[in-house]
Amino acid sequence: AERGIPVKLYEMRGVKSTPQHKTDNFAELVCSNSLRGDALTNAVGLLKEEMRRLGSVILESAEATRVPAGGALAVDRDGFSQMVTEKVVNHPLIEVVRDEITELPTDVITVVATGPLTSDALAEKIHALNNGDGFYFYDAAAPIIDVNTIDMSKVYLKSRYDKG
């Protein structure tokens, strides 16, 4: 859309949710608030810099909602998803369709950009495109803990990699 191409963006949340999501916002981070390293000396940081230079809504929103995290780019997860949502729904070339995709269109060029919380119906269609091979996702859960529930007299505080 930023390059002048009309986009029809489908999002199932608003119609169908997941146990992990708490809002209908785009880019809702449900685990860590970290977007990983930000150093230009690694692939993750270099990709982020390329996205910044291309005017990425995600990186613009991340920078605006950044919180201290040593060498990582971490965000205020609520502010981040709210900002991304506002930019997407207010973009004149993005049509947001709140609906679950259960079939992949074959008559138009389609970009499928989905994540680990993809609905079962769409995951099955993507899996079939690969002849049933190479469709896996593994992750570890990182709990979100309210700082007010922690006995700080029993906490060992240390920054990751001594970076902040």
Predicted local distance difference test score (pLDDT) of residue 161: 66
Cβ distance 83 to 65 under 8 Å? yes
Q: What percent of the chain has pLDDT over 90?
A: 52
Predicted local distance difference test score (pLDDT) of residue 140: 58
How far are the Cα atoms of 40, 60, 97, 111 from residue 48, in angstroms, in the given order?
9, 10, 27, 20
Predicted local distance difference test score (pLDDT) of residue 17: 86
pLDDT digits (tens, 9 = 90+) for 127-163: 888 887 777 666 656 677 888 999 999 988 877 666 6
Predicted local distance difference test score (pLDDT) of residue 30: 84
Which residue type does 21 have? H
Predicted local distance difference test score (pLDDT) of residue 137: 66
Tokens representing 133 are 């091979």
Predicted local distance difference test score (pLDDT) of residue 141: 61
Cβ distance 38 to 45 under 8 Å? yes
How far are the Cα atoms of 91, 98, 132 from residue 126, in angstroms, in the given order?
28, 20, 9
Three-state secondary structure call for residue 31: coil
pLDDT digits (tens, 9 = 90+) for 86-115: 999 999 999 999 999 999 988 998 898 887
Burial of residue 139 (number of CB atoms within 10 Å: 0-12, 13-18, 19+): exposed
Is pTM beyond 0.85? Reply is no
> How many residues does this entry show for the chain?
164
pLDDT digits (tens, 9 = 90+) for 58-93: 999 999 999 998 888 999 999 999 999 999 999 999
Predicted local distance difference test score (pLDDT) of residue 32: 81
Three-state secondary structure call for residue 75: strand
CATH numbers and ranges of domains, the chain: 7-162 (3.50.50.60)
pLDDT digits (tens, 9 = 90+) for 14-29: 899 888 888 999 999 8
Which residue type does 10 have? Y
Predicted local distance difference test score (pLDDT) of residue 142: 65
Tokens representing 100 are 């679950």
Our separate counts of H helices and E strands in the chain read 4, 5
Q: Which value, in Å, is the radius of gyration of the alpha carbons in the chain?
A: 18
